[in-house]
Amino acid sequence: MDLETEQSDVVVDINKLSLIFETSDGPIHALSDIDLSIKSGEFVSLIGPSGCGKTTLLRVLADLEKHSSGGITVNGMSPDQARQQNAYGYVFQAPALYPWRTVKKNVVLPLEVLGYSKEQQNELASQYLDLVNLTGFENKYPWQLSGGMQQRVSIARALSVEPQLLYMDEPFGALDEITRDHLNEQLLGLWEKTGKTVVFVTHSIPEAVFLSTRIVVMSPRPGKIIDVIDSHLPLDRTLDIRESPEFLEIAHQVREGLKAGHSYDDD
Amino acid sequence: MMTTRAPSLLYKSNVLPVVTIVFAIIVSWYLGAIYLNSPQLIDRYQKRGVDWSFSQLAQDSWSMERAVLPAPHQIALELKKTILDKKITSKRSLVYHAGVTLSSTLLGFLLGTFIGVSLAVGIVYIITLDRSLMPWIIASQTIPILALAPMVVVVLGAMGITGLLPKSLISMYLCFFPITVGMVKGLRSPDPMHLDLMRTYHASKAQIFWKLRLPAAVPFLFASLKVAIALSIVGAIVAELPTGGQGGLGSRLLSGSYYGQTNLIWAALISAALLSATLVTTVGYFQKVACRRLRGGQVFSQ
């Protein structure tokens, strides 16, 4: 691909990154020798069993966790600088909405923190609530919404500051499969429309294959990358593609990768 | 069908349980009055050498001037006498004395809330205060207020400070504690994810406080305020004991016990209880309003 030749397109660059947690039971190697570079517009999924460090890696990217050694840049800056410039939006495992704020007030929270004017707040809130199909729910409180709607609010909140980079940490992990399928389709459409770079953590193989342009397979103890699988499914895919041979072939590769990681673990 | 509706309404509301309990209390009160007052009466009958029946004993024990335990209707009569029949400005009006107690209660409550919240903010934000202050705050509550109150009043009196302030300070001393404890818990209640979210926005400490910690603490604050206002009234009454001359429900309790006027003591006690219940209910009302504004009417308990 010609994208690969252009250095300026690299959004996230990770070089020999390691993270060691010091605990009372001795050091834990959460991440070990991670090498990964993500280009603009890519949809990269990190997949692996629990404890493989995929969430930790995302938190390091977001400067919510500090790495122990190695190099990492986000937009050419350190994660700390990138965070201070609000280079990314972060969607957590849970919606993490503030229960005392209405839907709209939750969406404008980052805008309030960054000092946007009231008009800009209103405009961006309605724009991104519309994008996640929640127009008309502005004045509802989080407890009045279903889990899937709450997570959509949190996606609108992450998008409202219009970051070029979106970090999503198992955003649909707590939802039922029907809702999850539906949201996967919506997210795919949203990614196509906005052209954002997405780093997506999941432990679901179909979800990773359906959404991603690249799938990073990780294994635990120590958390490391086992395999990186490219995916070239057509952009205008629907959920039906999950029965196509191409899809099944990629899913098979991911499963083989996960298996390899697991056999290592059993030694 | 109409007949089934009335009792179900009675069961659903809390009217029936409350009436039942009140009835039970009144009945046992009347029985208790006979039990406690009869030794004195029987003694008197024997001295006078009169024959007495149980109904005579009951009647007499419910109408003694200085009963060990006056009957409810005697207390009600005393309340009517001291609340309805006296001018509010009169020194014998319980409304006047309740007003004196109320003013020091409220001032103490405001001071206590201010100090309690300030201490909590300090403890949550400054590690040194967290380590150094909390043991002292807890120790302060182990000192019996009854021993401390006269000293505070006397010392401040010697410095020329009398009247409302010394009494309010004792109220404050009692009521800041639950507020500090509740607020510390409340300010620390936000979920780690909620805090991480603020970190991803690069929010300042002040923004995290106003947009996250403080709203999260409001339910805890109100739970503490309810306890605090009741303690504040206790503090005001205890503080009125050594300053009897200045009035207040505490001073009525004191003069009642000096002169053995049990009716007066009970009337003052019941006034204090009513005042306290009114204040706690008022705080509860503000809690409801705040919660409605805060969470769109969602019921939550803390």
Which residues in A lie closer than 8 A to residue B197 (C-beta atoms)? 90, 92, 96, 109
- Nearest Cα of chain A lies from the Cα of B203 at a distance, in angstroms, of 6
Which residues in A lie closer than 8 A to residue B218 (C-beta atoms)? 100
A176 and A67 in a single domain? The answer is yes
Residue A110 in domain: yes
Q: Give dist(CA B297, CA B274) in Å, integer.
A: 29
B273 and B134 in a single domain? The answer is yes
Share of chain A above pLDDT 70, in %: 95
Pick A86's closest partner by Cβ from B201, B211, B294: B201
pLDDT in tens, B202-225: 999 999 999 999 999 998 999 999
DSSP characters for A232-267?
Answer: ---TT--GGGGGSHHHHHHHHHHHHHHHHHHHHHH-
Q: Give dist(CA A161, CA A166) in Å, integer.
A: 11
A253 and A176 in a single domain? The answer is yes
- Nearest Cα of chain A lies from the Cα of B190 at a distance, in angstroms, of 9
pLDDT in tens, A120-171: 999 999 999 988 889 999 999 998 999 889 999 999 999 999 888 999 999 9
CB B112 within 8 A of CB B176: yes
ipTM over 0.90: no
Contact A99 B196 (CB under 8 A): no
CATH of the domain at B130: 1.10.3720.10
- Nearest Cα of chain B lies from the Cα of A142 at a distance, in angstroms, of 9
pLDDT in tens, A52-82: 888 999 999 999 988 888 889 888 888 888 8
- Specify the range with the lowest mean pLDDT, choosing from A188-192, A235-239, B53-57: A235-239
Q: Give dist(CA A58, CA A47) in Å, integer.
A: 12
Q: Does A237 touch chain B (CB under 8 A)?
A: no
pLDDT score at B193: 93
User: Whole domain around residue B19: which residue ranges?
Assistant: 2-69
B181 and B36 in a single domain? The answer is no
Of A162, A186, A208, the position where a domain reaches its end is A162
User: Whole domain around residue A28: which residue ranges?
Assistant: 2-87+165-266
pLDDT in tens, B225-265: 999 999 999 999 988 887 656 788 888 888 888 888 888 89
Q: Does A92 touch chain B (CB under 8 A)?
A: yes
Q: Which of A187, A156, A161 is nearest to A45 (CA)?
A: A187
Contact B215 A114 (CB under 8 A): no
For chain B, how many structural domains are there in total? Answer: 2
